[in-house]
């Protein structure tokens, strides 16, 4: 079992969980990250401003990123 931390960033604001989560393997960790993101993303997207970015990362025990999911809003014209 490995320990992981969640970190959410929006713009210049970022915060990581103080308490680690334990997952059996990387696949389990990825599945949990996507499940948590799916719970949050609807509310986040309703308030996301143009040109903004929101991201959630799963960090390893050394607090280095393992996985990242990003939501970016941008004008293309």
> DSSP readout, 1-19?
-EEEEEEEEETTEEEE-SS
**What tokens were used for 12?**
């210049």
Cβ burial of 38 (10 Å; 0-12, 13-18, 19+) is: exposed
Question: What's the length of the chain?
Answer: 77
Q: What is the pLDDT of residue 24?
A: 94
**What tokens were used for 25?**
């393997």
Q: What is the pLDDT of residue 4?
A: 96
Q: How many CA atoms lie within 13 A of 60 on its CB side?
A: 6
Q: What is the pLDDT of residue 64?
A: 94
Q: What is the pLDDT along the chain (77 residues), one digit of tens a residue?
A: 899 999 999 877 888 888 999 999 999 999 999 999 999 988 888 888 888 999 999 999 999 999 999 999 888 88
Q: What is the pLDDT of residue 45?
A: 85
């Amino acid at each position: 079992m490995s320990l992981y931390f969640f970190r959410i960033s929006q713009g210049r604001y970022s915060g990581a969980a103080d308490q680690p989560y334990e997952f059996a393997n990387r696949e389990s960790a990825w599945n949990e990250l996507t499940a948590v993101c799916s719970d949050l993303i609807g509310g986040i997207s309703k308030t996301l401003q143009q040109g903004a970015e929101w991201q959630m990362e799963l960090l390893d025990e050394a607090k280095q990123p393992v996985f990242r999911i990003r939501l970016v809003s941008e004008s293309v014209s």
